[in-house]
Copies of this chain bind each other. A is one copy, B any other.
């Protein structure tokens, strides 16, 4: 790094104001008492020098950083982007800063683990983990040393605290919706829990509920949205299928795109459901039928919980499952009679 002038310290300010550094410290931190006259002189000196408190040095002695570390998988995903915003806002309310870390774009477990270590190095006071990828075992060692909350994914490990939206409930509700419309043959795009602890359980719940209600289920493995073309091919090979359930809104969008390409009418020939209800895909323009997660609530509650943990209080529950809601759009309808 190029040499650059060091920022002024309280000592510089003290010299300029003709007082001791203790006085400056009291003035800028607002603790202790100082004469009104000297206070103004110090403030003037500070302003003239462009003094800004050094949070690093302050943290050094205070043993506090007033910082919560948030790990999000990818801020570019609407789900995590919204979560991040909700948390940042709520943390500010509690007087905490948020520092965010992400894996460096590779999305593997090692990478994400490193990101958590970075947060620990920065001496964040608590951790909020938002990633459907990282398994509980990798979170445990951090949770042992730092108040930790897992947000936005079902996490039932007994020694981890979590806030999420019940995936079983959502998957089942969407399945019920289709059954109620009269669908008897439904395809589900499934994701293994090993690649996503959110989409895995929710698609499993969809399939399970459908079967419970006597519906024939065609399971199609679809971890990646890029393979939507193949899903459609598979679905069309089974003419009895009248509806397709996607693991997320973005998966549903990819699906709709492919169906549009092949001239399959939605919901005329095929009904489609999504999951999340967040961001631009949730707009009435598309009218996607989906399960909406209360993301602002999840983010806010996660921060509240982590703050309670910091204050030594017991959170209301170890695992808080927040209620979502069904959004009925225009991509689902009763199946056509001839199918």
Contacts and interface: CB of A to CB of B under 8 A. Distances in A.
Given A97-B118, A311-B1, A141 B78 contact: no
Given A54-B123, A75-B81, A85-B102, 10 more contacts: A2-B311, A7-B145, A54-B121, A56-B122, A76-B78, A76-B84, A93-B104, A99-B100, A279-B279, A280-B281
Contacts of A101: 97
A121 B50 contact: no
B283 A253 contact: yes
Nearest to A104: B92
Interface of A: 1-3, 6-7, 50, 52-57, 59-60, 63-65, 74-78, 81-82, 84-85, 88-89, 92-93, 97-102, 104-105, 117-118, 120-123, 125, 141, 144-145, 249-250, 253-254, 256-257, 260, 279-281, 283-286, 310-312
A2 B226 CA distance: 48
B257 A53 contact: no
A265 to B, nearest CB: 15
Contacts of A65: 56
A56 B59 contact: yes
Contacts of A253: 280, 283, 285
A54 to B, nearest CB: 6
A77 B85 CA distance: 9
Most chain B CB within 10 A, of A118, A144, A285, is at A285
A148 B177 CA distance: 53
Nearest to A114: B92
A85 B76 contact: yes
A285 B312 contact: no
15 contacts: A2-B311, A3-B312, A6-B63, A7-B123, A7-B145, A54-B123, A55-B122, A74-B85, A75-B81, A76-B81, A92-B105, A250-B280, A253-B283, A257-B285, A279-B279
B280 A257 contact: no
Contacts of A283: 253-254, 257
Contacts of A54: 121, 123
A285 B311 contact: no
A204 to B, nearest CB: 25
Nearest to A141: B50
Contact of A88 (B57, B64, B102): B102
A59 B285 CA distance: 50
Given A59-B56, A76-B82, A1 B281 contact: no
A256 B280 contact: no
A90 to B, nearest CB: 9
Nearest to A87: B75
A74 to B, nearest CB: 6
Nearest to A126: B1
Contacts of A125: 1
Contacts of A310: 1-2
A145 B100 CA distance: 24
B311 A121 contact: no
A189 to B, nearest CB: 16
B279 A78 contact: yes
